[in-house]
Amino acid sequence: MTPSKPLAGWRVLVPRGGKWGDGVAAQLRVHGAIPVIAPLINFASTDDAQGLANALYELQDGQFDWIVITSATTVDVLVSQGINIPKKTKIAAVGETTGAALALAGHKVDFVPVSDNSARGLVKEWPRAEIHGRVLIPQSDIAEPILVSGLAGLGLEVQFISAYRTVGVPVADPVRADVASGRIGAVLVTSGSVARQVAAQLAPLPQATLVACIGPRTAFDARAAGLRVDVIAELRSAESLVAALVEHAGHSARQESR
């Protein structure tokens, strides 16, 4: 007989703090898990403050036809800078989570990819009636050039600007010890940056420790970082990630009960 809570007793490493981490921790607890919040990355001000200021000035001046937002962190940068996006400038968001952050900040989102919430998905699904004009892409300093090259390839005039820096955060010794001993049943991987920090700080992971990735692209990045991937969420959302882990645990429990 399988348990009513498939994650009962599982200790799950949540690699991000803040509202996102607290939200995921709450979802995990519903399924019986014990979340261990241990941020592996953080965000710092860009090294190109003047370049960012110039780009945001042009944005508010209406010089861009589109702005592409790839993360809630970029939304936070816009809010902290007091940026008002002109109504004539259309907004594209990579994924529902980013779209929700924009809506919460008072912005109307004009385009979100439907089938693939990733940079590749956005390029693939970009409205073919909108392959002209200037596009601003404020991203992390280590963002891959997928959006820039992809949208430029469609014929758009694209400008990338570093909106913030992604930096690694050292894992606390007790958490590192828990991972090494196998007391952590699963590690959530939410981005390529997180995958690289897991590999650098926590690898090799015990064979019994599951690695659960938020979407196929993150799974690709995790494998590239040398991690074994056990669970892949269908969508790039916290809900999908937790659901995929729950389904995997439930399936494993049913197999063991036979």
Per-residue pLDDT of the chain (258 residues; tens, 9 = 90+): 445 789 999 999 999 988 889 999 999 999 999 999 999 999 999 999 999 999 999 999 999 999 999 998 999 999 999 999 999 999 999 987 888 889 999 999 999 998 777 888 899 999 988 888 999 999 999 988 999 999 999 999 999 999 999 999 999 999 999 999 999 999 999 999 999 999 999 999 999 999 999 988 899 999 999 999 999 998 878 899 999 999 999 877 666 655
Task: Tell me the C-alpha distance between 117 and 214, whole Å.
Answer: 11
Claim to verify: residue 139 and residue 193 sit in the same structural domain: no
Same domain, yes or no, for 53 and 147? Answer: yes
In a domain, 3, yes or no: no
Cα angle 74, 140, 82; round to 5: 30
- The CATH number that applies at residue 238 is 3.40.50.10090
Q: Could you give the angle at which helices 238-257 and 18-30 cross, rounded to 10 degrees?
A: 30
Same domain flag for 52 and 18: no
- Please tell me the predicted confidence (pLDDT) of residue 1: 44
Give the residue from 141, 167, 193 where a domain finishes.
167
Measured in whole angstroms, how far is the alpha carbon of residue 226 from the centre of its chain? Answer: 19
Q: Do both 157 and 199 map to the same domain?
A: no
Q: Which of 147, 167, 187 is the last residue of a domain?
A: 167
Domain count, the chain: 2
- Give the structural domain span for 151: 44-167
Say whether both 129 and 234 belong to one domain: no
Q: Are residues 72 and 138 in the same domain?
A: yes
Supply the pTM of this predicted model: 0.82
